[in-house]
Structure 1
């Protein structure tokens, strides 16, 4: 698109990355959504409602800014690619299934099955190659899975030795009140994302501490999950060594274009506007929902934390 239209390559790459992050924010089946909701014990649809209010204004402002920047460009060509609308079916199945609240694994399996049938029927991929691609995809998740397991083990050790209590006490000294607690929660997951360069792992690491912060600062579960998701996205989006940035640069290199992370970063409008929108909803938009202690196993968790303290 950049070569055909004359638009700046960093602008095009930044726009694609921003769109991907927006989709990740509002997806019912993204790994960040699952990690945040499972860790905080809230429904995905509730977290979606919280994220939608924050992400939509950021996306609209981003679109307006991109449109304003692109209007001044001289379009020198067009892009022609073959497509078939039936290939949208797997995406629609996943989207509708997620909105309806169907189990995430069922939704993903339906999407994979329908997509496999379509591409094999079209002759785009052989059945044997399809199985190989699935194996490659599963292997690609192995490292993330192992990191998540190790992080969970480390968090258990920290909790057992009073680390969470000490960390929470330090946070309480710095951040006061519910709004301060929400900001502290966002900065906590952001710091972990900077350290790990993986927003899903950062959420998994921050979940236990954020859970206790939510109780201490009287923050609702859906709000906590939303903060973890949005702030991890903000930091993941702007660090030059994040997976999204590296994949984008690698894709450009494969097509014969050279672009650096520092050239792209000024055009990552969505993460910056998402941060601004998040701060507005923390400090300026009232949230009357408090912490909900009525989920299964909550009493046992409280007793366990009290005994450790």
Structure 2
């Protein structure tokens, strides 16, 4: 056991408090937003890797997971999620790839879609994380704290786009109950949180502008300004908007010449992992289940009791051995 009794009790108290009270999420608009213009994206076809993808990987590479091996399954599962041998995979979201460019053909037209976290205004992932590992930042981005994430994947389950990805063999669960609780750590885009706190743009935005200049796919800035720009262009150019209403509103807007219903239909037909459903309701705005929280609390308290009992038993056995 690599965690002290005091440390475990402190963690248990913090987690249980989070479970009982819930992760209160203020439905604030957020300071920043991103506009992604699909009429301009060509997927960087002339380059070995899309600029936005490369920039994200380069900027965040020091934060990528380094799993302890061999990785053991945790009860009752007999499997685990390990992407560490697929670190170079760039055509989907992984714990090592937080943005990718999706391609879909519609009526003979190629459409390229940069995909990453939508950074919802009232994110279900933040409210539903049982360990309080997700937070909604004042800048409008949602962030996973990898120091306290157990990798339970609740965030992925409640995300309408299933964005967060899990890597086993890393995280706090290894120090507490590696065989019985956890699963790793969840990873996703956080909008280069350190950069935007300093008033700088995310790496993907800068990389795209360096390639395309004034015709860049990404536009990042004040939320109100971004929304006004998107609505104005949609009206003037007959474009379709995505992200303004989905899941109660997000900090990521898309513009397209093709209706997003068609885009989502094509993605479904191709059986893509990541789709773009149009009618996405924010479930946490319409219902809140305190009983579920209490059940989680009960389960965690039982687990905590078992671990604490094991710690005391181990100490007692050691003291009896020393006395002999």
Does the alignment reach a TM-score above 0.5?
A: no
Give the TM interval when normalised to the shorter protein: under 0.3
Report the TM-score when normalising by structure 1: 0.28
- Greater percentage in helix: 1
Could you say which structure has the greater relative contact order, defined with CA pairs below 8 angstroms and 6 or more residues apart?
1
